[in-house]
């Protein structure tokens, strides 16, 4: 049985004291593979990282940076209420 698909967290759901979230490799890959059904990947490679960062920025995150295969998403604290 597969787990629930990863949904990008909403940057506006963060708090000023906790503006960041770490996205684990399984969630990065799950999201990439869900969108790219014809180009499924088994590892977090550079094309996966590039796509994930671009998607995170489209979703409203201020920054998205990979540390190894984990991705740290940072919300813009000026937008957090």
> What are the tokens at 5?
């698909």
Pair 52, 6: CB distance under 8 Å: no
Domain that holds residue 52: 16-74
Q: What is the model's pLDDT at position 68?
A: 96
Q: Which helix (H) or strand (E) holds 53?
A: helix 46-58
Query: 80 lies in a domain?
Result: no
What are the pLDDT digits (tens) for 6-16?
678 899 999 98
Q: Is the pTM value of this prediction over 0.85?
A: yes
Select the more confidently predicted residue: 52 or 8. 52
Kindly tell me if the per-residue pLDDT of 1 is higher than 80: no
The confidence band for 5, taking pLDDT boundaries of 50, 70 and 90, is low
Query: 54 lies in a domain?
Result: yes
Query: 10 lies in a domain?
Result: no
Q: How many CB atoms lie within 10 A of CB 23?
A: 20
What are the pLDDT digits (tens) for 53-68?
999 999 999 999 999 9
Query: 66 lies in a domain?
Result: yes
Q: How many domains does the chain have?
A: 1
Query: 61 lies in a domain?
Result: yes
Distance CA 5, CA 12 (A): 20
Query: 4 lies in a domain?
Result: no
Pairing between strand 20-23 and 63-67?
unpaired
């Amino acid at each position: 049985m597969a787990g629930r698909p990863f949904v990008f967290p909403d940057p506006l759901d963060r708090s000023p004291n906790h503006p960041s979230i770490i996205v684990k490799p399984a969630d990065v890959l799950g999201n990439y593979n869900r969108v790219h059904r014809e180009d499924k990947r088994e590892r977090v490679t550079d094309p996966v990282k590039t796509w994930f960062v671009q998607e995170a920025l489209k979703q409203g995150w201020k920054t998205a940076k990979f540390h190894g295969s984990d991705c740290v998403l940072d919300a813009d604290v000026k937008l957090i209420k």
